[in-house]
Structure formats: structure tokens, C-alpha cells
Amino acid sequence: MKKIILVFTVLLIIVGCNSPKNYSGKLSVIDLKVDSILSLMTLEEKIGQMNQYNGFWDLTGPAPNEGDAANKYNHLKQGLVGSMLNVRGVEDVIKVQKIAVEETRLGIPLIIGFDVVHGYETQSPIPLAESASWDLETIKKSAEMAAKEAAAAGINWTFAPMVDISRDARWGRVMEGAGEDAYLGSLIAKARIEGFQGDDLSKSNTIAACAKHFAGYGFAESGRDYNTVDVGTSTLYNTIFPPFKASVDAGVRTFMNSFNELNGIPATGNKFLQRDILKGKWNFDGFMVSDWGSIMEMIAHGHAKDKKHAAELAVNAGSDMDMESYVYVNELKTLIDEGKVNVTLIDDAVKRILKVKFELGLFDNPYRYCDLEREKEIIGSKEMHDAALDMAKKSIVLLKNDNDLLPLKKTGQKIALIGALASDKNSPLGSWRIAAKDNSAVSVLEGMQQYNENELVYAKGTDVSIGTHNFASEVKINTTDKSEFKKAISVARKADVVVLVLGEVGFQSGEARSRTELGLPGLQQELLEEIYKVNKNIVLVLNNGRPLAITWADKYISSIVEAWQLGSQSGNAIAQVLYGDYNPSGKLPMSFPRNVGQVPIYYNYKNTGRPGPKKEVFWSHYQDEKNSPLYPFGYGLSYTTFKYDNLQVSNVNNNKVNVSVQISNSGDVKGKEVVQLYIRDEVASVTRPVKELKGFELVELKPKEAKTIEFVLTDKELGFYNNEGAFIVEPGTFKVFVGGSSDKTLDADFEL
């Protein structure tokens, strides 16, 4: 602590004012302080700030060949480390922070990063599931809770939100994003950033957020993680960039670049992305961290000839912090001596990093986030679990309920609960759940046992996977063992209703979890068909981290519930929805394909020169499958029904358009509906999609209640980016569509 006091004494003389507790709105004071510290630093110490090491415990990337614990420890002592990731828990954070603060020359505190992706210890639903709620307030609250819990464990920085748009369910990381749409994705990015960062970053319950992965990572060819990305300019500006731009506008303090290349240049060494767009055009004043080892990986990409070259390319392109490549700390000094890197770029990077440390209040008190009492009180508290349950219920999407099997009757029923996932307490925790306790989620079985006036019989049916897995291990799927089929079939035969819980285990989605098939893994499809032979009253509950192709189920099973991986409170949320204590209102944030061959599939496609259907064969279609998805973007049912009437467009002037629609609850129970507005710019200098989401409102209605919903479309909604990256609005004919799904809408025209 002595060093910090020494630095502050120097600072106070230089800056000439007291260190304010809350820096928001006083960036210039921080800038002066940052400059003062910078003037005290040696080149080695500056480079040290740009160096980030993994801790000594969890591993969220490939194990490095160099940088063993002893080496890292020495660097830490020498002031050659600016940040650590995967150090968690107050005790451990204090251990490393103490070295930085008390044993290094200047005592500059570390910034401690962690993947707080869908909760810290208490898990919220996976982000894709949360996005299905379309409930920005609750999503913000979920991030707020995650920040509070993580901050109580000594963490000051999350590597979230992932704002990559993706249209490819084969890519395992769709679970971590907000789905396929840039408009929805931008609003969710903002909500999550505001939730994590709050209104004052220096508070001990807020943490810095990180918009990742900049850019294009969600467009990996064939959905194979880390694969090459090849997208056109229009997609880059109109689909990939918007959530990142929205993140900058929301004040996100850090960015992470991506593993992929873009136009042949890896994102980590991509100057266009980092310096021209992000720090130039968008004026981002936070810092950019590389992804795990991504600087060094430019060698494998065939872009850098060696580690030194990789460091040169990355720093010149605008990557400020090196996560686990060890090349900044080892190579930057030589590169500067050789004149290959200008020291002003180092100064710029360090200033950005120090600024965020100041904003977090770490210079005021490096142990601000380290309070053992608070840690005990907050982590896993009722407040966390209540919020996780609320978010989980709102994330569930009712896909089918043809015969009104749902909600289940609460008494007098014999219910067969079948499926290994029904009793699984680990899978609902999802993939990014490093700080969660294994097997700590409420299972569907436990959730349904709360409703004890029915007879509930459980049978596993079949294991989805074999053995146990973790974040770094491959999941092995059971493709042979049917020994439990018989028992499950017999239990199903005697039941009034069968609840079948099928889908993916938690680690089947997430980083490096791509799939070429999108059906139910292993023997689950066979189990479903066998059960159907003996009992048609089936409610299928899906637990999965990505859209699945469940065409058979859609044809034969009358009730289907999309329950994703819903986190710690999963089973309670599912049971409350099944029994009608919560009326589902989720809408899909990603299209569900009929067949994996349709992927990438998304609602906002282009019309092509040969739309159909046509009499002859010469139109854009498949011989063996429809073009449309099984369930489209924006789709989701309720236990009630909604009716849309009277779509009106008025006041079309000054590029402002008022749209109104009447919605009424035409069913018998209270329910929530996401009223969605889409537009189509019919003729444009760069072709526009057949539909684009440009507004939505979540409305709750009592039975027979009606409301008029109003939307205002301005330039922001009516324009688009041209191929020079300029945002333009073109006059002409537009269509507007309003409804409860991207495919079921009223429509009207207007002229701009």
C-alpha cells in the first residue's frame, strides 16, 4: 500500500486536487492522473500494463507452453503484469493484488478479469435464452446481479457481453449471444452493459464490461468455431457492427478482438477494425484486450512470421492488452528499440488501461472488491436466486400446444417424467459456469416434485452423454446404451401425461462446441419415438444451447416447450411454466431450421433475383425441403391468444413515421406479448432484407383487454449503411409489418 500512497502524493501535487471518490463525469481529472502516472513509468512497466496472465487455477483456453506459474509470479513481482484473469474469490484476489500493490516499484493495481457470462456462482439462463425474453429490464437486472456477485468475489471486469450476431446454429457459441438480429442484439448489448457497469464503475457492486469478439466471429464458415470468416461489406456494416457500435454508445469500457480473420487479416492484427473503425470512427476511449493467445495465433493464420512479428502487428493494429500470448512482455521493447513500434502507441494503450483502473476506483482502494464478509453475504444469496428464477421463467418459449395439454392439471394426474436431462443438475448451468458449484441447479425433477398433488414417476430412458465433462473436455455422446428404454416405456404407458426432457448436455454448446447435426443427440430421438408409440400425450421440454432441428417432434408431439439451459433455478422455472403458474411469453431470438442443410437460416434474408414459388424449377429453393424455418425468429406462444387489428401509418414527413396497432388478449388468462415491428425498404441502392426488426414492445394484457401500441420510425430505423460505411436514408416505398412473430404480421405501405 506504501507505493500507492507514494504515487498519490506525487499525483496530488501534480493534479492539485483531492482524489474524487466518483470519477464519472470527471474524465479530465482521470486523464491528468493517468498522464502523471505514465510520466513515472519506465518502458518495461508500461509494457507490463499491457500484459495479462491467466491465474494459477482455472483454464479457459489452451494451456500455454511458456509462462509457467513461477515465471508469471516473477513477472508479477517485477511490475510486468497489468491484469490477471481467472483469479477469483476474495482470498486469491488479495494474494495477487498484494504483490502488484505492495511489491512492485509503482504499486499499480491489477485489473482482475473473468468470464462472468451468465452469472458468477449463481447461474442465470444462458444469454441466448435470456434474449428470448425480449425483456430488456430483466436482462439488465440479470447482468446487474451477475456483476454484484462477481464483484463480491473480487472481480472487477467481465469478458461479456458477447455481442456477435450469428445465423448458424452449428456454431456452439450462439448460446453466448443474443441471436441472429442486429437490432435486438444491439438493445440487449446495451442492457447488459448497463447492468454490469451501473451508473458508477467505482462502486463495489459494478464491474467493467467487455464487448466481444470484434469482429465477425459469429460468421465462422460452416459454423466451425475459430474458422475463417468471409463476409461482404454490407453484412459487416449492417449486421455485424451495429451491436458493437451500440456497446460503445452504451459506454462499454473494454473490447475484445476475435480469433477469426476478416478479409484475410486476423482481427487481432486488423488495423481497419481496431484503429480506423473502433478507436477512430466510433471514438472508443476504453481498451482492447486480445482473445486468449490470439496475438500469437497470427503465426498459425499465416499472417505473422514469428512471435515478434505477431506482437508488432497486434500493437500497431490497436490491440492494447495481450491475453496469454506472452509476446508483448517478451518482444515489445525490442520492437521499440528497432523502431518498428512507436512508443506513442504504447503510451496510448497504457493510458487506456490505467484510465479504466481509475474508473473502477482501484487506485483509490485496490482492495475495494475484496471484502470477505460481503463475499459470504452476497454469493449464492436469495437475492441472486430470486433474480435468476425470474429471468429463467421469462426466457422460456412455448413452441407448440395444439391440444392444450399445457398447463398441466395440478391434481389427480399420473405424470411420467422421462429423460436423463430431467434429473440433471449440471447441464442447466450451461457452458460458461466456471465459478458455479457442479450439480447445483434445481433439476426439472426437483421442480416438478414441488407440485405434489399428482403422482410423479421418473425414468431416465437413456443417458445423453457418457462420463463427466468440463469446460475443456470433449463431450462423449451415448449412441449404444438403451438398457433403460424398457423401463421408461413402461412408465410412459401407464401415465396420463408424459413430460419428456430432451436436448443437449451443458457442455455441448459454448466455445469449441460446433456440431454438424442439429437433431436430438444420441439415442434421444429414438426414445421419443418409442414413447410416442405407447402414449401420445407428450409434453416435450427441450434443454439446449442452440436452435435444434426437431421436425419429427413438431409433426407428432402436440406440446413443445423450449427451456434452453436456464441456470441455477432451471427446474423451478420449468415446473412453474408447465403447471401454469407462469404464462410463457418468450419469443425466439434465432430461427429454428427444419434441417441442418438450411443453415445459415435467418428471417432477414434477401429476396434474390429469383424468389418463389414459381411453376418451373428455376427459383431459389431446395428440392427436398421448404425454404422457411421450422420456427421463425420472433415466434413464441402463450397460454392465451392475442389478436392484432387496425394497423395505421401516419404523419409520414421529415423522415418520421408514426405506426400504431391495436392488440387484444383474445384468450382466457392474463398474458404477455412481444409486439414486433418490421420494415422493408423496397428499393435501395444496396439491397435490403425482406424484413428487418425495427421496434418492439412487451405488453401485458388481462383477458379481453386491448391496447393501442405506438411506434415512431425515424432515420435511425429507416436508414442503412452503404458499402462505404456511410449511414444513409433513401426515399421510396417502404412496407411496415406488425405482429407477434416475424412471419405472422399485418402490413401496410408508406412512401418516404
Q: Which is nearer to ligand NOJ, 158 or 537 (CB)?
A: 158
DSSP 8-state assignment for residue 236: I
Cβ atoms of 715 and 751 closer than 8 Å:
no
Candidates 60, 268, 325, 544; binder of ligand NOJ (CB under 6 A) is: 60
Q: Diameter of the chain by CA atoms?
A: 82
β 497-503/720-721 pair status: unpaired
Q: Which is nearer to ligand NOJ, 266 or 503 (CB)?
A: 266
Q: Which is nearer to ligand NOJ, 212 or 460 (CB)?
A: 212
Tell me the three cell numbers of residue 418.
422421462
Q: State yes or no: residue 433 binds ligand NOJ (CB under 6 A).
A: no
**Residue labelled with grid coordinates 457452458:** 431
Given the residues 168, 291, 320, 681, select the one marked as catalytic.
291
Q: CB-based contacts of 520: which residues, under 8 Å, 6+ apart?
A: 502, 503, 528, 548, 550, 553
Q: State yes or no: residue 190 binds ligand NOJ (CB under 6 A).
A: no
Cβ atoms of 97 and 366 closer than 8 Å:
yes
Q: Of residues 201-220, which lie at the interface with ligand NOJ (CB under 6 A)? A: 212
Q: State yes or no: residue 511 binds ligand NOJ (CB under 6 A).
A: yes
Site string for ligand NOJ, 278-307 (x = CB under 6 A): -------------xx---------------
Q: Of residues 228-287, which lie at the interface with ligand NOJ (CB under 6 A)? A: none
Q: Which is nearer to ligand NOJ, 176 or 562 (CB)?
A: 176
Q: CB-based contacts of 741: which residues, under 8 Å, 6+ apart?
A: 587, 632, 633, 634, 635, 636, 676
Q: State yes or no: residue 395 binds ligand NOJ (CB under 6 A).
A: no
Taking the complex as a whole, how short is the minimal distance between the CB of residue 472 and ligand NOJ, in angstroms?
Answer: 11
Q: Which is nearer to ligand NOJ, 58 or 285 (CB)?
A: 58
Q: CB-based contacts of 205: which residues, under 8 Å, 6+ apart?
A: 147, 148, 151, 152, 198
Task: Calculate the alpha carbon distances from 742 to 88, 323, 569, 587, 608 in Å.
Answer: 42, 40, 30, 10, 19
Q: State yes or no: residue 719 binds ligand NOJ (CB under 6 A).
A: no
Q: State yes or no: residue 61 binds ligand NOJ (CB under 6 A).
A: yes
Cβ atoms of 679 and 733 closer than 8 Å:
no
β 83-85/111-114 pair status: parallel
Q: Which is nearer to ligand NOJ, 447 or 510 (CB)?
A: 510
Size, binding site for ligand NOJ by CB under 6 A: 9
Q: Which is nearer to ligand NOJ, 166 or 535 (CB)?
A: 166
Tell me the three cell numbers of residue 168.
448458424
291 is catalytic: yes
Helices (H), 204-326: 233-235, 241-249, 271, 297-300, 307-317
Taking the complex as a whole, how short is the minimal distance between the CB of residue 116 and ligand NOJ, in angstroms?
Answer: 10
State the residue number with the nearest CB to ligand NOJ: 60
Q: What residues does 208 pair with on adjacent strands?
A: 157
Taking the complex as a whole, how short is the minimal distance between the CB of residue 164 and ligand NOJ, in angstroms?
Answer: 10
The three-class DSSP label of residue 615 is: coil
Q: State yes or no: residue 322 binds ligand NOJ (CB under 6 A).
A: no
Q: Which amino acid is at 504?
A: E
Q: Which amino acid is at 302?
A: G
Cβ atoms of 459 and 465 closer than 8 Å:
no
State the Cα–Cα distance between residues 220 and 223, nearest whole angstrom: 5
β 111-114/157-158 pair status: parallel
Taking the complex as a whole, how short is the minimal distance between the CB of residue 435 and ligand NOJ, in angstroms?
Answer: 12
Q: Which is nearer to ligand NOJ, 62 or 732 (CB)?
A: 62
Q: State yes or no: residue 115 binds ligand NOJ (CB under 6 A).
A: yes
Residue 507's nearest CA partner among 479, 543, 541, 471 is 471
Active site residues: 291
Q: Which residues contact ligand NOJ (rule: CB under 6 A)?
A: 60-61, 85, 115, 159, 212, 291-292, 511
